[in-house]
Amino acid sequence: MSSPVIGRFAPSPTGPLHFGSLIAALGSWLQARRQGGAWFVRMEDLDKPREQPGAADAILRALEHFGLVWDGEVIYQSQRQELYLATLERLRRDGRLYLCRCSRAEIREQGLRLGLPEGVYSGRCRGQHHPFSADGALRLQVEDREVGFTDGVQGVYRQSLQNEVGDFVLRRRDGLIAYQLAVVVDDGAQGVSEVVRGSDLLDSTPRQIFLQQCLGLPTPLYRHLPVALAPNGQKLSKQNLAPPLPLDSDPRQALVRALRFLGQRPPAGIELASRDSLLATAIEHWRPGEIPTRMGIHEV
């Protein structure tokens, strides 16, 4: 018997749902539902300074408005600190972590001096054996090999973590658990078998796969969707103030727009059906092979 299909939508509650996040929600929902699978919603609310009060609820209300029904209870990462700390402890015992005391300015200066690509950590603290304490970041030691995978939309993607990322942070200097750790722990704990999300996270995936390997977790299938771009070419996001989708208007228009964005060709007149029969038709006609392979598409 094949294992169940489990998908998820994992928004960060930094603002209400906008068109860009509707695409990720709808794409992951359709991919799971088309296969008769489960679909979970997980609030990635670890970065409290970036959170907007009320956004988590607003996102859930928006999903309801669009008829994207989830399974089970919504998980909040802010309530799962112990699990992340236990995982850090395990990685520490396995000798994979070290404490890094470098400041952001020092990291930049080392990178410039050594001619590293922007954002790559030099590994300066790796051999220093700083005692594990709260006054630094915890970094995971990467290995000198390529980590690659075949993305269901973007094709083969490979990265040398050592040359293109460096040892990466799992607990930040300010004590916050990093996204890379929490996402891997939770995708594993929830049994997620297919991750469908924006292509802005494509280059995070090798880090996540490497961490799964360190923890003995299976690697899900990945599909990275094109992201909606604002006129200035940036990803439509809460940070660049993408307008929230209005919840007092007909959800069908935005759903059809999102389906078209995802390369789907829903039958003519689909927007005339009720929201739920529109969604049922969308499931029936879901063709992930039609999703455009571009990383971003201008949304006008």
The catalytic residue positions are 238
Q: 79: how many CB neighbours lie within 10 A of its CB?
A: 10
Report the nearest approach of ligand GLU to the CB of residue 14 (Å).
Answer: 8
Site for ligand GLU in 36-55 (CB under 6 A): 44
User: Which residue of 6, 7, 11, 278 would you call a contact of ligand GLU, by CB under 6 A?
Assistant: 11
For position 223 contacting ligand GLU by CB under 6 A, the verdict is no
- Complex with ligand GLU: residue 11 or 288, whichever CB lies closer: 11
Kindly list the distances between the CA atom of residue 177 and the CA atoms of 35, 74, 144, 180, 210, in Å, as whole numbers in the listed order.
33, 20, 25, 8, 17
Nearer to ligand GLU, 10 or 282 (CB): 10
How far apart CA 165 and CA 183 sit, in angstroms, is 18
**Which residue from 222, 261, 289 is spatially nearest to 22, judged by alpha carbons?**
261
Q: How far is the CB of 10 from ligand GLU (least distance, A)?
A: 4
167: contact with ligand GLU by CB under 6 A: no
* Shortest Cβ 12–ligand GLU spacing (Å): 4
| CA 55 to each of CA 14, 59, 152, 214, 287: distance values in angstroms, whole numbers, following the listed order | 6, 6, 30, 34, 31
Q: Judged by CB under 6 A, which stretch of 4-12, 211-219, 241-249, 278-286 contacts ligand GLU? A: 4-12
Per CB under 6 A, does 164 bind ligand GLU?
no
Cite the DSSP H helix spans in the chain: 19-34, 55-65, 81-93, 104-114, 161-164, 179-189, 205-215, 251-261, 275-284
Quick check: 40 and 5 in contact, CB under 8 A?
no
Q: Looking at 7-15, 53-61, 139-147, 163-171, which segment touches ligand GLU (CB under 6 A)?
A: 7-15
* Contact between 197 and ligand GLU per CB under 6 A: yes
Task: Please report how close the Cβ of residue 197 comes to ligand GLU at its closest, in angstroms.
Answer: 4
67, 53, 41, 42: which is closest to 14 by C-alpha? 53
Strands 168-171, 97-100: parallel, antiparallel or unpaired by DSSP?
Answer: unpaired
Q: How many CA atoms lie within 13 A of 148 on its CB side?
A: 8
Q: What tokens does 238 get?
A: 């809460």
- Shortest Å distance, C-beta 44 to ligand GLU: 4
> Is 201 an interacting residue with respect to ligand GLU (CB under 6 A)?
yes
**Smaller CB distance to ligand GLU: residue 65 or 197?**
197
Instruction: Give residues in contact with ligand GLU (CB under 6 A).
Output: 10-12, 44, 183, 197, 201
